[in-house]
Structure 1
């Protein structure tokens, strides 16, 4: 996997953990247009993963797939280590995660634990493996897809939100630990995604799209930002919600 960044800071090689993620694939498409030449898609083997790889090959990228299971933490060092053994990686995009179903998961603790294990435990394991590899090669960026839902627990999604809160805190700490090593860590906090075919009144306020998140990721990489909110106004909104007295927060339709 040849690696370097061009004069404009575009990563030449990209590894996506969660190779069928809409946001990750939108980011890959955008970066390929800018000059990214090699893309690895890590995920559970599936026709969907192969279709995603085929699509990126059609855009001109040398694309390969990697068998990767977020829940199988014992396999992470071997699976991801093989990618780095082939050559340096400019950018790792940690994009896997599951939303779960709040109502169902509250009634089924094992399902809730699976959400937490995927979004937090699996991400901690994979994130540390990739961070160590990036540090060893002496350069690279790790972009972690967090969520605005992690800023404050909401009644409607506190299981998912709490897992993202843990991931967000982990990624911030990892970024501090790697400061000065040549490795850049960026946390991305998007709002929920707008769904095609869903009526406007059923969409969450400030909902975004994979393409908008991809644009923000590219800009954040160029600026070497440590945190990116999508849309940007979400930073102010979530700051206000975070400091709202709990008694008032409970009354909001969230």
Structure 2
């Protein structure tokens, strides 16, 4: 159960090698989180992430999980929930892809969509059902400001995040009143492994800043979190730019 301050004592991370996930897990463990499950493809990177949390004092375990293998999700995630209640699930896996390459390779584009959307739908529903059975817990889903309006430079990634964002909002509505809290997080450009080598966008942020915003959102039981917060206004304006004008913007 969460403590009196709303901090989760147990955490399941889907996408255990994500920079944002790692920053969030470390921040929560520094508070009161004591049990952490890291789900991801077995790799030295996943084990390294787990070991760093163990050194911080958390009882940390790993579980094999592949977003592109939804038929195995029930078994993998069921194993975690069978061990005890989970106070918070952080759905943090995803892939940026390569827009130019993916436009020329429909199979590669489909893998981006399957990872970011269909894999998340499968895992999200399984975790939501388990949290509802418990009668408590938070499901935190990493979306993106790219979900707000498709841009020429990354519409494949953006459209997959738009689907995930809409799914998460609908799931939150469906679970309202059940004791399960659903929160969608919309970061802008995050300086991380995923964006290494890319030109930095305005209002760029860090994994640590996203982690801090997630912690604040949990405490407030927010349903939507923007990182940084100013992006809410920026994207509200961009959503209403006429399409002929939007096409001429360097986005």
**TM-score, structure 2 length as denominator?**
0.97
Choose from 121, 125, 135 the match for 1:124.
121
Q: Find the aligned partners of 2:101 and 2:91 in 1 and give their Cα distance.
A: 26
| 2:65 matches 1:68 | yes
Choose from 217, 221, 227 the match for 2:218.
221
Deviates more, 1:96-105 or 1:187-196: 187-196
Correspondence for 1:162: 159
| 2:104 matches 1:104 | no
Deviations 1:146-196 (A, max 9, x none): 000010000000000000000000000000000000000000000011259
Give the superposition deviation at 1:5.
1.2
Structure 1, unpaired ranges of 5+ = none
Choose from 186, 191, 194 the match for 1:189.
186
Q: Do 2:19 and 2:192's aligned partners in 1 also have CA atoms closer than 8 Å?
A: no
RMSD across aligned C-alpha pairs, in angstroms? 1.4
Choose from 125, 141, 154 the match for 1:144.
141
Moved segments of 4+, more than 3 Å? none
Q: Find the aligned partners of 2:178 and 2:184 in 1 and give their Cα distance.
A: 18
Correspondence for 2:168: 171
Deviations 1:48-70 (A, max 9, x none): 00000000000000000000000
Correspondence for 2:130: 133
Q: Does the C-alpha gap of structure 1 residues 195 and 179 become closer, same or farther in structure 2, counting only changes over 3 Å?
A: closer
Correspondence for 1:28: 25
Q: Find the aligned partners of 2:181 and 2:46 in 1 and give their Cα distance.
A: 27
| 2:235 matches 1:238 | yes
Structure 2, unpaired ranges of 5+ = none
Correspondence for 2:76: 79
